[in-house]
Amino acid sequence: MEDDHNVLVFPCVIPLKAVGEQPEDFESFVVEIVRKYVPNLAQDAAASRLSAGGNYLAVTVTFTAESRAQLESIYQELSGHKRVKFLI
């Protein structure tokens, strides 16, 4: 039996957070990948926070996901890249 609390209803707003290395261009790297799957991504969709040591950047991109396949494609491409340490 499926747990109704874990079912997403599309379209839905998703705040995707990626943490990664090379903070100087990590935000643009993440936004570029998300924009491949969300072409109408708002200019102000991303917010970033630098780690205390300055080695990592946490980027949150908020967008409207249209389908589970779209969301899975974004997660798959980001998680498959060596610069991305983890996704939330």
Q: What is the pLDDT of residue 6?
A: 65
Secondary-structure breakdown of the chain: helix, strand, coil percentages, each rounded to the nearest 5: 35, 30, 35
Contact at 8 Å (CB) between 48 and 57? yes
Q: Is the pLDDT of residue 5 over 60?
A: no
Handedness of CA 38, 73, 56, 14 (dihedral sign): positive
Ordered structural domains, the chain, with CATH = 4-87 (3.30.70.260)
Q: What is the pLDDT of residues 15-49, one digit of tens each?
A: 999 999 888 899 999 999 999 999 999 999 999 99
Backbone torsions φ then ψ of 71, nearest 5 degrees: -60, -45
